[in-house]
Amino acid sequence: MPPVPTTPATNDANALPRDTQSVLKLAAASMFSLFDQSSQGMLLVDRNARVVWISDGYRRLLPLLGFEREEDFVGHPVAEVIPNTAMHQVLETGKPILVDLISNKSGTFLVTRLPLRDESGAVIGALGVVLLDAPDATHPGSMQPLLAKFSRLQRELDDARAELAAHRRPKYTIASFIGGSGPALEVKRQARRVASTDATVLLLGETGTGKELMAHAIHAASARARAAFVGVNIAAVPETLLEAEFFGVAPGAYTGADRKGRDGKFKLADGGTLFLDEIGDMSLALQAKLLRVLQERELEPLGSNRVISVDVRVIAATSRDLGAMVREGRFREDLYYRLAVVPIRLPALRERLADIEALAEALLEDISRRSGLTARSLAPDALEWLARQAWPGNIRELRNALEQAALMSDDLVLTAGHFSAAAQTPAPVATAPAPAAPLPERRAAMERAAIEAALRSTGGNRVAAAKLLQISRATLYEKLARWPDLARS
């Protein structure tokens, strides 16, 4: 503030007062009323972050914030009445926030926040000015388009976050593991017990016995349920990419897609659970690195020289005989003992045939819900037939058998005949992909098998086959175009 010129006093009532203090007061008052006129509204908070005053303009904004009466707003802690406010920050640091965007459910606002100081310089409050609110289009050429874009992006981000959270929410609980037989109850008891601890779990069992389902269920029953469940199928990721997949990549470590860096699965599962499926398929080199992370609870992203700590509960699963792999030198013994702190063996379906009925019912219900097919039930001879099978693919195979039988017939009650007919179709055997094949491949193989069987049972009549499959003729032709050999048969 330049010194006020000490010109001789005049009697002019419009002249500036002569002392600095009075001029400062005048300037402050002018600026205050300028802000008041050109902004959407102003509010003052005291040093305890309580709203003590709002301008007339701000009063008009109150309904936008969800307040009808001024007394529900003024006199209350600012954080309670304005979600996402940063007034505290101004009070704590004494530094202004000259321009900021604030978004809450009432919209996006362009705001300024200034600290207020007493004569000794101590912060005694803060002034908040709403320069512009998003719905306000009365300022042509103003920041309005930017604000609108920001609020749209914010909304999209909120939606994406909600969707992500829904995906990460546990899909299964221990109760979703169907079965009341002795072996099934024992597995559920073990799972419940281990869920209450933070111990590393090793799920053992043949393919399709429900290891992945149980991993989800243990997570859902644990104290980590609200945090992420992240799965990695080790057999499905190329060996060369696994390390980056696990530990992440530091920014700038690579050119191209990973240039900006990427979080690894360990980081994504921080606070939650990491499910390592097909752990027996991991190379010895990566086993050593995994062991280090499990021991130190720290990792180094690729291309970084920084170590980050992670708090992750690991659940590993395998259908292989890890003990034998250790003896053959194909799996590290130290890692084996680290993982097998609590081993849980999932029984094969043939060891719990008493559960077939309950499982089949639950699976049929799920199949009809997902496919839109009418729900089917099982005749007693169908249950007997199912109980006589060996089920090397366990519950996954049972599910496939039920799905095929339901798909190939319009009958609402499935009999042994439906299953034996479906089992005799050579196509699934001929085209069945490996158990670890990706889902689209498996789905395609199933579809092909079902179409082939339908064409056979209708003597090649495509209209009848489409009807049988409950798909349109156009869809059938579309699918046949993918398999010309089927189309010719």
Ligand X SMILES: Nc1ncnc2c1ncn2[C@@H]1O[C@H](COP(=O)(O)OP(=O)(O)OP(=O)(O)O)[C@@H](O)[C@H]1O
Does residue 199 contact residue 341 with C-beta atoms inside 8 Å? yes
Q: Please, what is the minimum distance in Å from the beta carbon of residue 180 to ligand X?
A: 11
Binding string, residues 356-385; x marks residues near ligand X by CB under 6 A: ---x--x-----------------------
Tell me if 246 contacts ligand X by CB under 6 A.
Answer: no
Q: Which amino acid is at 152?
A: R
Binding string, residues 293-322; x marks residues near ligand X by CB under 6 A: --------------------------x---
Residues 88 and 79: their CA atoms lie apart, in Å, by: 8
Tell me if 177 contacts ligand X by CB under 6 A.
Answer: yes
Nearest 5°: the CA angle 210, 439, 421 is 80
SS3 110: strand
Calculate the CA 201 to chain-centre distance. Answer: 23
Q: Please, what is the minimum distance in Å from the beta carbon of residue 313 to ligand X?
A: 18
Q: Please, what is the minimum distance in Å from the beta carbon of residue 367 to ligand X?
A: 10
Q: Which is nearer to ligand X, 133 or 397 (CB)?
A: 397
Which region, judged by CB under 6 A, interacts with ligand X, from 17-25, 46-54, 118-126, 201-209? 201-209
Which region, judged by CB under 6 A, interacts with ligand X, from 44-52, 127-135, 177-185, 254-262? 177-185
| Ramachandran category for residue 437: left, alpha or beta (phi over 0 → left; psi -120 to 50 → alpha) | beta
Q: Please, what is the minimum distance in Å from the beta carbon of residue 469 to ligand X?
A: 22
Residues 351 and 342: their CA atoms lie apart, in Å, by: 21
Q: Please, what is the minimum distance in Å from the beta carbon of residue 125 to ligand X?
A: 59
Tell me if 212 contacts ligand X by CB under 6 A.
Answer: yes
Q: Which is nearer to ligand X, 35 or 275 (CB)?
A: 275
Q: Please, what is the minimum distance in Å from the beta carbon of residue 402 to ligand X?
A: 11
Tell me if 173 contacts ligand X by CB under 6 A.
Answer: no
Token pair belonging to 219: 């997570």
Q: Of 207, 389, 415, 457, which one interacts with ligand X (CB under 6 A)?
A: 207
Residues 466 and 455: their CA atoms lie apart, in Å, by: 9
Q: Which is nearer to ligand X, 248 or 347 (CB)?
A: 347
Tell me if 208 contacts ligand X by CB under 6 A.
Answer: yes
Q: Of 41, 205, 280, 347, which one interacts with ligand X (CB under 6 A)?
A: 205
Tell me if 115 contacts ligand X by CB under 6 A.
Answer: no
Calculate the CA 268 to chain-centre distance. Answer: 10
Tell me if 397 contacts ligand X by CB under 6 A.
Answer: no
Tell me if 280 contacts ligand X by CB under 6 A.
Answer: no
Number of chain residues interacting with ligand X (CB under 6 A): 19
Tell me if 209 contacts ligand X by CB under 6 A.
Answer: yes
**Ordered strands of the 273-277 beta sheet:** 229-233, 273-277, 313-318, 201-204, 342-345
Residues 339 and 333: their CA atoms lie apart, in Å, by: 10
In angstroms, what is the C-alpha Rg of the chain?
A: 34
204 — phi, psi (to 5°)? -115, 150
Dihedral angle, C-alpha 378, 384, 390, 392, nearest 10 °: 10
Q: Of 399, 418, 448, 479, which one interacts with ligand X (CB under 6 A)?
A: 399
Nearest 5°: the CA angle 250, 252, 257 is 90
Q: Of 178, 225, 291, 342, which one interacts with ligand X (CB under 6 A)?
A: 178
Residues 424 and 234: their CA atoms lie apart, in Å, by: 34
Q: Please, what is the minimum distance in Å from the beta carbon of residue 309 to ligand X?
A: 30
Contacts 24+ apart (CB under 8 A), 460-463: 460/489
Q: Which is nearer to ligand X, 243 or 403 (CB)?
A: 403
Of 271, 270, 265, the residue nearest 290 (C-alpha): 265
Site residues for ligand X per CB under 6 A = 177-179, 205, 207-213, 277, 319, 359, 362, 395-396, 399, 435
